[in-house]
């Protein structure tokens, strides 16, 4: 399952988020298992990851340390390295359990001179590739390169490339002197990449945005281009990707390659349909559908969203009334978000769901920011989604780029807004006697929710351990539960547990192994577990609370007809 907040992980690692945005994301990732897995995939194979994963687990002071840079405002290269190190710390603490998983790589499509033997393209034959890449390969937009360099007994080969005005991807193979392929999840690799035009101008001077991961038996390196070029016209006809490895499997050496990429064919087939339609929801969310750009591997929708002035006034009034404007004016004594800042983070977050329908009203693509795609069943044919903040103010403005498998073969489509998701304060509380819980399940009804708790388990070691369907690492308590949420509530978070002595513990809900369904009345039902971080002794009583619930709004009426070129 993919969390919509995972779209911010790459900009975070690249150092493109502000200190406050970074701190908010860290708080979220610390509690969100899908984001932990996504971060592990993003970071998998990097030298920092391999080094950190080889060390001992983080100390219990981690939650204090992750916020240590929040008050710093400079955007220097050293700052970016600090963020990378901290992101690796988050990955190690919260996602080490998934570090051994194969990276779920989704990359955009690429264009090149027609390649007749497309059936043999790695982009087409590797089973994990998305539908957009497969379609681009079938249409002949994968280019065989097979350019290689050898040093110190290792040979680096660039096998293939796919490129279009939105993305570049290169498939690498590295073998040792005996011809054995290397495992890209083991050992150390140090590499850098450049992007230049025909005149040698550096188009990405800070080197941001490059990512690599395991892709079957190969390494795939990618770079998104829509952050570098804001239109197809600005993409040069010829690009060169410079590749340099300085270390392979702890062996230092020099492996350099220049990979020329002809973008002319990709640009020729790229089509942009300007839509420029705007809608304001009853909740005060303004959505503007700008355009759809279609390239061989994807159809990319560009949307802009923001709150209207009335919604902003309501938000500011709530923050003032609840006293959630407690951000320190001067230097911070504690490098963590204040309770008010944390509430602001939740309350300014929002998500969307929409459908793309064909001429007959059939669903051909869909985006859904709910945590669990089974709840609505409209998420379909996604290639890649990302967003970034827009302008200044209170941070609600965003630009979204949503990629889907190409909408080829269709002349008319309909964009239909399905849902808007907004967070709101909640006040659920359940007092549980653990002695009573050991004898039978305990049911609590509060704030419109019904919870049945069962099977408390105290985990006394730092090692990974499976308890029933659930797996956790680190010391703490585990409580399984079943719940029915209030009408229109689809997610709950900001969990805390307080023992009978007044000690407060952070809690997280297991999203990875949980079950999320709807009952006959449409209410969300959950079967999952709560992990109480740092609990070392079984208390007599626990008071469990959550402070945020996500509400799904369906009272929307916006459909946009879209005429595509034949």
For 99-127, write each residue's pLDDT tens digit: 333 222 222 333 333 433 444 688 887 66
Which carries the bigger pLDDT value, residue 243 or residue 213?
A: 243
pLDDT at 20 over 70: no
Residue 471, pLDDT score: 66
Cα three-residue angle 475-476-480, rounded to 5 degrees: 135
Helix-helix angle 33-43:19-29, to 10 degrees: 110
- Region of poorest pLDDT, from 85-99, 133-147, 443-457: 85-99
DSSP three-state, residue 118: helix
Residue 103, pLDDT score: 27
Residue 483: which domain range? 424-552
Which strands, in side-by-side order, build the sheet including 189-197?
189-197, 238-248, 251-262
pLDDT at 284 over 90: yes
- Domain count of the fold of the chain: 4
Cα three-residue angle 139-141-142, rounded to 5 degrees: 115
CATH at 187: 2.60.40.1630
Burial class (CB in 10 A: 0-12, 13-18, 19+), 177: exposed
pLDDT at 464 over 60: yes
pTM (two decimals) = 0.74
Arithmetic mean of pLDDT over the chain: 80
Task: Identify the residue whose tokens are 């009203």.
Answer: 361
CA distance 489 to 218: 42
CA dihedral over 300, 302, 303, 304, signed as positive or negative: positive
**Residue 276 shares a structural domain with residue 405:** yes
**Residue 516 shares a structural domain with residue 536:** yes
For residue 111, being part of any structural domain is answered with no
Residue 109, pLDDT score: 32
Q: Per residue in 338-386, pLDDT tens? A: 888 889 889 988 999 999 999 999 999 999 998 777 789 999 998 876 6
Residue 121, pLDDT score: 85
277 contacts: CB under 8 Å, gap ≥ 6? 288, 289, 560
CA distance 537 to 477: 9
Residue 326, pLDDT score: 84
**Residue 228 shares a structural domain with residue 259:** yes
* CB 28, CB 5: distance < 8 Å: yes
- Region of poorest pLDDT, from 138-147, 207-216, 282-291: 207-216
Find the mean pLDDT for residues 469-481. Answer: 79
pLDDT at 208 over 90: no
Residue that finishes a domain, picked among 214, 243, 268: 268
CA distance 487 to 551: 9
For residue 205, being part of any structural domain is answered with yes
For residue 12, being part of any structural domain is answered with yes
Identity of the highest mean pLDDT range in 21-35, 328-342, 413-427: 413-427
Per DSSP, 123 falls in state H
For residue 282, being part of any structural domain is answered with yes
For residue 109, being part of any structural domain is answered with no
Which strands, in side-by-side order, build the sheet including 143-151?
143-151, 154-164, 167-175, 218-224, 211-215
For residue 246, being part of any structural domain is answered with yes
Other beta carbons within 10 angstroms of residue 123's beta carbon come to 30
Residue 220, pLDDT score: 82
DSSP3 helix / strand / coil % (the chain, rounded to 5): 20, 40, 35
**Residue 221 shares a structural domain with residue 203:** yes
Distance of CA 91 to the CA centre of its chain: 13
CA distance 149 to 171: 15
Query: Where on the phi/psi map is residue 106: left (φ > 0), alpha (ψ -120 to 50), or beta?
Result: beta
């Amino acid at each position: 399952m993919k969390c919509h907040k995972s779209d911010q992980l790459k900009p975070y690692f690249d150092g493109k988020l502000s200190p406050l945005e970074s701190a908010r994301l860290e708080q979220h990732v610390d509690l969100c298992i899908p984001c932990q897995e996504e971060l592990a995939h993003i970071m998998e194979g990097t030298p920092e990851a391999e080094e950190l994963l080889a060390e001992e687990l983080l100390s219990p002071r981690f939650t204090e340390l992750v916020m240590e840079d929040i008050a710093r405002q400079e955007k220097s290269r050293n700052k970016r390295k600090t963020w990378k190190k901290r992101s690796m710390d988050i990955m190690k603490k919260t996602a080490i359990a998934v570090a051994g998983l194969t990276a779920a790589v989704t990359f955009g499509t690429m264009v090149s001179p027609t390649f007749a033997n497309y059936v043999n393209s790695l982009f087409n034959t590797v089973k994990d590739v998305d539908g957009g890449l497969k379609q681009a390969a079938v249409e002949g937009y994968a280019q065989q390169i097979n350019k290689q360099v050898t040093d110190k007994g290792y040979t680096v080969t660039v096998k293939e490339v796919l490129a279009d005005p939105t993305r570049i991807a290169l498939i690498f193979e590295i073998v040792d002197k005996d011809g054995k392929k290397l495992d890209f999840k083991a050992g150390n690799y140090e590499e850098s990449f450049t992007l230049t035009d025909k005149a040698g101008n550096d188009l990405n001077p800070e080197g941001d945005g490059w990512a690599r991961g395991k892709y079957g038996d190969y390494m795939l390196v990618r770079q998104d281009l829509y952050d570098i070029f804001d239109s197809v016209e600005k993409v040069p006809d010829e690009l060169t990707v410079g590749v340099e490895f300085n270390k392979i499997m702890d062996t230092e050496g020099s492996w350099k390659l220049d990979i020329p990429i002809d973008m002319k064919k990709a640009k020729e087939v790229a089509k942009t349909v300007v839509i420029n339609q705007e809608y304001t929801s009853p909740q005060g969310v303004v959505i503007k559908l700008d355009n759809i750009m279609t390239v061989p591997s994807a159809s990319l929708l560009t949307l802009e969203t923001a709150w209207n002035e009335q919604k902003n006034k309501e938000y500011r009034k709530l923050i003032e009334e609840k006293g959630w404007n407690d951000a320190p004016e001067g230097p911070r004594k504690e490098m963590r978000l204040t309770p008010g800042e944390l509430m602001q983070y939740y309350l300014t977050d929002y998500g969307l769901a929409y459908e793309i329908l064909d001429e007959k009203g059939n669903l051909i693509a869909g985006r859904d920011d709910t945590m669990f795609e089974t709840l609505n069943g409209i998420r379909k044919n996604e290639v890649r989604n990302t967003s970034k903040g827009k302008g200044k103010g209170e941070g609600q403005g965003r630009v979204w780029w949503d990629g889907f498998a190409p909408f080829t073969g269709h002349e008319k489509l309909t964009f239909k807004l399905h849902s808007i998701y907004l967070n709101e304060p909640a006040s659920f509380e359940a007092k549980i006697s653990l002695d009573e819980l050991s004898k039978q399940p305990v049911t609590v009804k509060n704030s419109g929710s019904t919870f049945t708790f069962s099977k408390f388990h105290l985990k006394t070691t730092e090692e990974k351990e499976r308890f029933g369907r659930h797996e956790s690492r680190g010391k703490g308590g585990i409580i399984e539960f079943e719940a029915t949420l209030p009408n229109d509530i689809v997610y709950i978070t900001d969990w805390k547990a307080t023992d009978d002595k007044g000690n407060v513990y952070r809690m997280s809900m297991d999203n990875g192994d949980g079950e999320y369904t709807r009952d006959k009345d449409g209410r969300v039902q959950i079967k999952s577990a709560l992990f109480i971080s740092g609990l070392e002794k079984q208390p007599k009583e626990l008071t469990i609370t959550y402070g945020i619930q996500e509400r799904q709004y369906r009272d929307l009426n916006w459909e946009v007809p879209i005429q595509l070129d034949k």
